[in-house]
Amino acid sequence: MSTAHLSPEVQARARELLALYPHPRSALIPICHLAQEQDGWLRPEAVAEIAELVGLTPAEVLGTASFYDMLHTEPVGNYLIAICTNIACMLRGAYELLDHAQAQLDVRVGATTADGIFTLEEAECVADCGRAPCLQVNHRFFGDVTAESFDAIVAALRQGALAGDVPAHGTLMRVRRQGPLRVDDETIRAERAAAASAMAERAARGSGS
């Protein structure tokens, strides 16, 4: 038997996720996020194992994953800088900021710096328009960004000074669910059936509310 690509910890967490849904496929996207937490992107080896976990083919996993902007089927840098240029940010200088970022990082939008540290993306609205123009680094928000503050953010990231705020790319949630589902299907069925008959009784008596 070949060694599994996903770590025992990731596999255990994936099984916890599977138990939260009536159908295993529902855990697909959350498990893809876990695989990205391990590798930074969705490696083919991970895709194959995820397929097995949720009962799909690797093509089905890839077909779903490729639909979503946050799931990366190719490697990205340690820090994914996504600059929003949608209408609210555009009105407040987002394209000028994007030009500055491209010059400063010496990459075009969509590319990764030669040292593999930064990937630059042009994002659609990330819902922080009160602080436009804004950007996300690994999906952590930075608002009211100027050319100067952009440079400061990049410098801080390079020095590792923001490690507490910005985890490595792929780590979405650092807070984990505590414990499994508390209510089994049997209990739900019994409770709901009892409530339904009580409701029907009240309706018959005409005292519904």
Partner 1 sequence: MAITEAPRIVTSRLGHEDSHTLERYLATGGYEGLRKALSMTPEAVAAEVDAVSLLGRGGAGFPAGRKWSMLRKGPVPYLVVNGDESEPATFKDHMLVERDPHQLIEGVVIAAYAIQAARAFVYIRGEFALGLERVQSALNDAYEHGAVGRDIFGSGFSVDIVVHPGAGAYICGEETALIESLEGKRGFPRIKPPYFPAAIGLYGEPTVVNNVETLSNLPWVMVHGSAAFSALGAGRSTGTRLFALAGHVRNPGVYEVEMVKTTFRDLIFAPVLGGGIPGGRQLKAVIPGGVSAPWFGPQHLDLPLGQDEVAEQGSMLGSGSIVVMDESTCAVRAAWRITRFFRRESCGQCTPCREGSGWLEKILRRIEDGVGRDDDLDLLMDLCDNLAPGVSWPPQQTTICVLGSSIPSSIASGIRMFRDEFLVHVKDGGCPYG
Mind spelling out the 3-state secondary structure of the chain?
Answer: CCCCCCCHHHHHHHHHHHCCCCCHHHHHHHHHHHHHHHHCCCCHHHHHHHHHHHCCCHHHHHHHHCCCCCCCCCCCCCEEEEEECCHHHHCCCHHHHHHHHHHHHCCCCCCECCCCCEEEEEECCCCCHHHCCCEEECCEEECCCCHHHHHHHHHHHHHCCCCCCCCCCCCCCCCCCCCCCCCCHHHHHHHHHHHHHHHHHHHHHCCCC
> Segment 137-176, which members bind partner 1 (CB under 8 A)?
138-141, 172-176
63 near partner 1 (CB under 8 A)? yes
Residues in contact with partner 1, shown as a per-residue x/- string from 81 to 120 under the rule CB under 8 A: ----xxxx-xxx----------------------------
46 near partner 1 (CB under 8 A)? no
187 near partner 1 (CB under 8 A)? yes
129 near partner 1 (CB under 8 A)? yes
Size of site (CB under 8 A) for partner 1:
66
Q: Which stretch binds partner 1 (CB under 8 A): 2-10, 73-81, 111-119, 127-135?
A: 127-135
16 near partner 1 (CB under 8 A)? no
Out of 16, 38, 58, 70, point to the residue binding partner 1 (CB under 8 A): 70
| Residue nearer to partner 1 on the CB measure, 114 or 200 | 200
